[in-house]
Structure 1
Amino acid sequence: MTTLRERKTYRKAILRQLYGAMEHNRPEVSGAALREELRLPDDDLSAACAYLADEGLITVEWTSHKTPATASLSHDGIRFMEEEEEWSGPGQSD
């Protein structure tokens, strides 16, 4: 079973990956690319994306298997990541 700390880590990693992609003019990232780049199991990726979508931070297009086909930051997600960057400084992690 995934711990709360792991779930939060997965969510942050997804947000950072999508924010980085947006900065490189790739507003949408495929679920397969997220899974591969972050090395997340399907269940954990799906749960993290569902949580972030429910919070209004990302938008997700789902496959028929309930896994993300594509994901992108919402306007609120962009603002959230910009605030995080301002607070922690560019290139810094927690």
Structure 2
Amino acid sequence: MASLAERKAYRDKIMQALYEASEGNRLLGVTGARLLHSLGIHEEDLAAACTYLVGEDLIAVDWTTGNTPAMVTLTHQGIRLMEAKEEEHD
């Protein structure tokens, strides 16, 4: 079981990866397999992080059997959050 700090880090990594891959476009997503490979997150932790982010209305997920995300996309709220974070760093 991941610690609270690890769970938060996983969620942040997922949001950043989605934002970079989609360039803020809701029509572009990332496969769960790509997230697993590129972020090095265990499948259970990826599923838990995605479930949390869906609950916050930051991402949308198409699920496969076994609770693995098939496709993950940012929602409008997710894009707004990431744009606000980007503006803070500029």
Given the two structures, how large is their TM-score scaled by the length of structure 2? 0.93
Identical-pair percentage:
48
* CA displacement at 1:67 relative to structure 2: 1.1
Aligned residue number for residue 92 of structure 1 = none
Runs of at least 4 residues off by over 3 Å:
none
RMSD over aligned Cα atoms: 1.5
Q: Specify which structure has the bigger relative contact order, considering alpha-carbon pairs within 8 angstroms and separated by 6 or more residues.
A: 2
- Does the Cα contact within 8 Å between 2:62 and 2:70 map onto a contact in 1? yes
Q: Which runs of 5+ in 1 are unaligned?
A: 90-94
1:76 corresponds to 2:77 = yes
* CA displacement at 1:88 relative to structure 2: 2.3
Q: Which runs of 5+ in 2 are unaligned?
A: none
String of CA shifts for 1:48-91, please: whole Å, max 9, x gaps: 000001100000000011110110100000000000111123xx
Structure 1 residue identity aligned to 2:57:
G
Q: Give the number of aligned pairs.
A: 89
Given the two structures, how large is their TM-score scaled by the length of structure 1? 0.89
Closer, same or farther: CA 35–5 of 1 in aligned 2, 3 Å: same
Structural mapping, 1:1-94, within 5 Å: 1-23=1-23, 27-89=28-90
